[in-house]
Amino acid sequence: MPSRLVSLVLAATGGVVTDLGFPGTDLWGLAFVGVALLFLALGRDSARWNLLVGLVWGLAFFVPHLFWTSIVVGPAVSLALPLLEAAFVALFGAAWSWARRGAVIWRSPAFQVLGFALVWVALEEARSAAPFGGFPWGRLAFSQADSPLLRLAWLGGVPLLSGVVAAIGALLAVALLSARRVLVLRTLVSLGTVGALLAIGLLMPVGTRAEAGTLHVAAVQGNVDEHEEDPYVRQSRVVDNHAAETMTLLEQVEPGELDVVLWPENVTATDLREDERSAAVVEQAAQALGAPILLGTIEYPSTSTRFNTTVLWEPGTGITQTYRKQRPAPFSEYIPMRELARRVTPLVDNVSHDMIAGSEPGLVTVTSDALGREVPIAVGICFEVAYDWVVRDGVRAGGELLVIQTNNSTFGYSDESLQQLAMSRVRAVETGRTTIQISTVGVSALIAPHGAVSNLTELWTADSFVARVPLRTSITPAVRFGQQLVWAVSALGGLVVASGAAGAWRMRAASRGRMLA
């Protein structure tokens, strides 16, 4: 049992170390170490104390991990989101204190590791769903894009991958505690289990071959003029930049050779049905390539609301299909409790039109003359890549390729783009689909179904690539049973906490009875 001061030092160090395991530094093994330090920091029995320990770990992790939010709303306001996410880690600290009071977990290191992982994933799922639809950024799974564990996403998606990371962290802590007590066998078994889990990841049967032919695609990162101070002028030039970069593709392909050209999110901040100038620019590019363009735009259904929309623009026809973002980001794309939020900061009024959610899965179809059929493409917009159900629903609806369109220009040279790319890599393995992340300013990339990256672009550059991507139709276990896994883990996590708390209550009641006798 560490002293209170040591507990807080371990927690703060663990949060910082865990963040170093994420993209930016990419030291994925440090995620295990950071979780191990949290396990050790929570060594005291008091749930109220461990609530504080969890909060310290959470702040030490989320403040640097979400630093890029300060670019948008300023340092003071940006602390609100890390504080909210850290509160869930605080709840985890209290929940784990209750869970391990059960006799089964308390007496068995193996059950401690399993219980720790279950409760962790249950709390990750909770913060991914609430409040305001949740914010899944910073889940442990997203630190493992370069790890041997990545292939586990094929089997159980993000919940399984996060659970294994939490379990490895707990195993390392158990090994350290056992070594201090010179329990050689327990130490070796703990470390051996870590090695076995890492090795199992490499054995997952992740397929990469084409199951339904290939699609000839181009992805265009047109860039944004970061030196233009007027935001309206800067935004109006984005569509021109993407059209200009698209025209360079004619150096690689002939007109009519491509099946589809992919542009990112928010190429226009106007409704293409009303903005004749931008529509003419898109039409000219589509005509020149002889291919449809999938691009991001905005729709304004009323004077106070908007949709973040992906449209398929067919040359000579215009918009033929739309997908409306299902998961707008609170306090960024829309303002919950606007009157209350305005009392905190007037910056909320910069969001003059609240974004509303679409209701249909992310799916568009393109016609491939070479294949002689319609090819369904699963689509996610920006932060939707962090939400399991959005990506899963698009693939279950028939998507044979996954496209993540994003606009990272707001976040400068921060780690946000790399964090998002890691999520796309996890989604590629989870869904068994070739995935293309295409951004206005980078990073953009082509991701194989086993997570390997090619055609990686630099930040704040105009770039593009052409590829023949394999189309896949098989459904991975993670996609088929993903929601059931979430329910099962959440239920088991809750059961572990409840049984531990009930066991401790019975022990206290029995103790009081003996004292009265």
Catalytic center residues: 265, 325, 382
> Rounded to 10 degrees, what is the CA torsion of 490, 495, 501, 504?
-140
Q: Please spell the DSSP secondary structure of 209-255, one letter per residue.
A: S-SS-EEEEEEEE----TT---HHHHHHHHHHHHHHHHHGGGGTS-T
Q: Contact at 8 Å (CB) between 405 and 296?
A: yes
Instruction: Count CB neighbours of 488 within 10 A.
Output: 13
Q: How many whole angstroms separate alpha carbon 253 and alpha carbon 269?
A: 29
Q: How many whole angstroms separate alpha carbon 110 and alpha carbon 248?
A: 58
Map residue 313 onto helix, strand or coil: strand
Question: Residue 463 is encoded by which pair of tokens?
Answer: 């770039």
Q: Is the peptide bond before 82 cis (omega within 30 degrees of 0)?
A: no
Q: Contact at 8 Å (CB) between 244 and 222?
A: yes
**Phi/psi of residue 405, nearest 5 degrees:** -95, 135
Q: What is the DSSP letter of 409?
A: G
Distance of CA 403 to the CA centre of its chain: 14
Q: How many whole angstroms separate alpha carbon 186 and alpha carbon 106?
A: 15
Please list the residues that pair with 453 across neighbouring strands: 447
Please list the residues that pair with 494 across neighbouring strands: none
Q: How many whole angstroms separate alpha carbon 251 and alpha carbon 292?
A: 18
Q: How many whole angstroms separate alpha carbon 327 and alpha carbon 87?
A: 22
Half-sphere exposure of 45 (CA within 13 A, CB side): 6
